[in-house]
Chains A and B, each alone.
Chain A
């Protein structure tokens, strides 16, 4: 099960999903407000997740 790091919350969770779009849905995250990287490369919702992928979710909204 791929590990997903949530940058804003600074925590890592395990989530089973076939694509990034499905992953965001499972995490109840709005794709408008986050960027997703797989192995440090930006990807879109259509990306098909592989078991060893390192996934990071970064907030789009500025903190100020």
Chain B
């Protein structure tokens, strides 16, 4: 039974063993997102927020909640950006979900494609470059999201990353002995704020993937399950399965990982603090090297 109203529950929260009904869960979920925003100071007065959407459950969930917040905070402006990588039988389906959603909520949606921006779809790039598709996609998508958000006047770029995504990233970096990458994690990302770099915020930081999927289901955001044809090959998938098995055997493990990480994150950020950011010699976008990873890929395509 629901802990608060004694009706049929829709979820049992693994870290607290509390069961909630549909309406109590929606209240709990939205309240927790608002609390995360306050706790980590993710928003400032008068911010223009660009939400990176894919049309999937996570991004539509955060877009919905931020749009709801903007109804009460009139100085907050919300826009949505979708990157169409050009993945056959996949992205075209989620684009429709995003378009339908934004039309209903009256949110401006801007769509940019790899084909138009770089001359090739991801499918074509994979054939040409013989590189891991998830690496190409991740680099070029982050590049476009930052650049386009800035051009749209964004102060922050919000993404649908949730607790599971973060827990996976922490563990992946541990296994690869790359703490410098972990220093760039957290509810608001980037070791420091630099010109041309739009800080990224993760308002779903303390919500699990199951909670997010439950919210999206109850709100009827997606109608069909579609899977990226490239998702099978990721190292992340193995880490995800490992963490989910562990969570099933030892409930609350993922929360434990996140909260212990949050307590060492300030030390990591201090250790890997960048005094100066570099700008790519080719495209002038902020980057860590002389030539950014996106330009390296574009060069290989020519």
Contacts and interface: CB of A to CB of B under 8 A. Distances in A.
Interface of A: 7-8, 30-33, 35, 41-46, 58-64
Nearest to B218: A42
Contacts of A64: 54, 56, 90, 94, 227-228, 231
A59 to B, nearest CB: 6
Contacts of B226: 63
B10 A42 contact: yes
Contacts, number: 65
A7 B9 contact: no
A8 B225 contact: yes
Contacts of A41: 8, 10
Residue among B209, B213, B217, B228 with the most chain A CB within 10 A?
A: B213
A35 B225 contact: no
A43 B10 contact: yes
B285 interface: no
Contacts of A30: 244-245, 248
B225 A7 contact: yes
B84 to A, nearest CB: 12
Interface of B: 8-12, 14, 19, 22, 54, 56-58, 90, 94, 209-210, 213-214, 217-218, 225-228, 231, 240, 244-245, 247-248
A58 B225 contact: yes
B58 A42 contact: no
Contacts of A8: 225, 227
B138 to A, nearest CB: 11
B213 to A, nearest CB: 4
B210 A33 contact: yes
A60 B231 CA distance: 15
B14 to A, nearest CB: 7
A35 B19 contact: no
